[in-house]
Amino acid sequence: MRIGLAQINPTVGDIQGNAAKIARCIGQAKRSKVDLLVFSELALIGYPPRDLLYHESFLSEAKEALYRLNQQCGDVAVLLGSVRVAEDRLYNTAFLLDGGEITWQDKTLLPNYDVFDESRYFWSSERCGPMRFRGCNLGVHVCEDSWNDKDASSSRRYERDPIEELARQGVDIFINLSASPYHLEKGAQRRSIMGTIARKYGKPFLYVNQVGGNDELVFDGRSFLLDDEGALVAEAKDFEEDFLAFELENMAVMSPQIRTEGMAALEKALQMSIADYFAKTGFRQAVIGLSGGIDSAVTAALAVQALGSRNVLGVAMPSIYSSRESVEDAKRLAENLQIEFRVLPITPIFEPFVGSLSEGKYIMDLAEENLQARIRGNLLMTISNRENRLILTTGNKSEMAVGYCTMYGDMAGGLAVISDVPKTMIYQLAEHLNRDREVIPSAIIEKPPSAELRPGQLDTDSLPPYEILDPILSGLVENNRSVDEVVAEGYDRSTVERVFRMVQRNEYKRRQAPPGIRVTTRAFGSGRRYPIAQRWNPI
């Protein structure tokens, strides 16, 4: 039997566009003499569909598109993810389209943690059994169904184990339709779990993942085939669409892709997410405030990769507190990136504000600092409105965590590109972006970080050094550790308690931030839901 995998980038809600993409892959499968073509979880409607599932017309359109695809399959059988409706219940389903007939297997384990809330919409499968196809028993299951094996997973969240249920009934190959979001080192985690299952039951394992950016979530693809000993036979591209085909009875190694990890994977993830966010929302051009600092430099470099230099505008907005070197660094960056560059001094706007609010006196307090940021936000929003450019904000995760940002100022925009990238990682990413040539001027990387909102200001005036702050934040935010547990790792108690209070106090700011791209195990956004009006204080 010849099996193909189609790793596609669906657009959530674009059922007709996704169906057309699926049909093109079916055509390719026919030319490749494929017997069974496998797509990812909810490939027809896009993942995650969220509250689109509450619309009857959406569900009807998905059903009609599935039936039309069934008529186009010909001699190729198709295993495809979509939504199924039965007795007013919704199911996340793998459909087998074969010779005009449609059979299915519903998802059993519905994740309801982190960014996932599938039990809000779907019902769990009541049965889990192999699909019979041309003499083979296919162990078809959907995404989370693979993540509860007692020997493969470090933590088990469910009583049922669909893999064990399938194996007990006899399968020739496990097939997982997945929409598994990316975070750093996620690819290795997937291969480890699926490899353990393949070795445990002595059966090959086909894993087909979605690729593309959908709002805050990044899907890296990296679909793969493992043999019955868990060894990698073939691996699809990361962060790109791909198509692979293999013989089930003769699984020779097919020159697996070179795996991209670390900063190279992070670069690809952010670049693809920007490109997809623009393509799927209809924007073509971006505008970025260039301060001469490393955060805006990294954001601009990624935007150019995603959109092309002609579609990125950099704007420097110096104030009376901005150094001449910062404007020069921003200009040099723009020249390196070959993007349009404008300088809009904010002093002529800032001084009348000060005159109205403070009787013409510079008070140099926090309100005056924030006023400068908000003037810059207004200028960028005006450019955005007039020129139909989406603002890319430039705040990093460290700043977002402790509230070192200004509402309606540097937080104003449409997409927060690096809001899940800690400051120390920003420096690593900048060095990576400079691996072949100097994209980001060395002066930007080497200068001490500063918001330049008052004379001689440095980030360390308000925050612990990032080398200390970031590990503390990792413990508190990503690993959900207590203050005592973080202190036990060797950090000063007063510093940890201060950081904890800052994180708690600034939830209201993060709630008003633009969507950010999730690249760590726990980002601010739908995967971290804290109340604003609350008084819990464990310190």
CA atoms within 13 A on the CB side of 529: 8
What is the value of pTM for the model shown?
0.95
Which candidate, 72, 4, 80, 8, places its Cα nearest to that of 37?
4
Do residue 244 and residue 297 come from a single domain? no
* Token duo for residue 83: 């939504």
Using only the alpha carbons of the chain, give its radius of gyration.
Answer: 25
> 177 forms bridges with which residues in the sheet?
142, 208
Total Cβ atoms within 10 A of residue 526 = 17
Residues 328 and 221 in one domain: no
Task: Show which of 225, 248, 271 is a domain's final residue.
Answer: 248
Q: What pLDDT, on the 0 to 100 scale, is given for residue 27?
A: 97
Report the distance separating Cα 201 and Cα 230, nearest Å.
10
For position 154, what pLDDT does the model report? Answer: 77
User: What's the confidence (pLDDT) of residue 516?
Assistant: 98
Tell me how many domains the chain contains: 2
Residue 525 lies in a domain: no
Amino acid residing at 47: Y
Same domain, 77 and 158: yes
Q: Report residue 145: phi and psi, to 5°.
A: -60, -20
Residues 237, 286, single domain; the answer is no
234, 336: one domain:
no
User: Does residue 308 sit within a domain?
Assistant: yes
Res 318: pLDDT: 96
Answer yes or no: do 242 and 296 share one domain: no
CA distances to 84, 254, 296, 382 from 232, rounded to whole Å, are 33, 9, 39, 52
CATH number at residue 212: 3.60.110.10
Q: What is the pLDDT of residue 257?
A: 63
Residue 527 included in any domain: no
Dist. CA 266–CA 26, nearest whole Å: 31
Residues 244 and 286 placed together within one structural domain of the fold: no
pLDDT-flagged residues of the chain (< 50): none
Written as one string, the DSSP assignment of 294-324 is: HHHHHHHHHHHHHH-GGGEEEEE---TTS-H
Same-domain pairing of 191 and 317: no
Are residue 491 and residue 408 in the same domain, yes or no?
A: yes
Strands 101-106 and 389-393: unpaired
Q: Same structural domain for residues 294 and 238?
A: no
In this structure, what CATH number is given to the domain that contains residue 505? 3.40.50.620
Residue 255 lies in a domain: no
How do strand 205-209 and strand 173-178 relate by DSSP bridges?
parallel
How far apart CA 524 and CA 511 sit, in angstroms, is 9
Are 321 and 208 found together in one domain? no
Query: Residue 520 domain-assigned?
Result: no
| Domain-terminating residue out of 196, 226, 248 | 248
Domain that holds residue 438: 282-511
User: What is the per-residue pLDDT for 331?
Assistant: 98
271 is a domain residue: no
Q: Are residues 228 and 162 in the same domain?
A: yes
- Is residue 530 a part of any domain in this protein? no
Show which residues are catalytic: 41, 107, 143
CA distance 524 to 506: 11
- Judge whether 262 lies within some domain: no
399-414: pLDDT as tens digits: 999 999 999 999 999 9
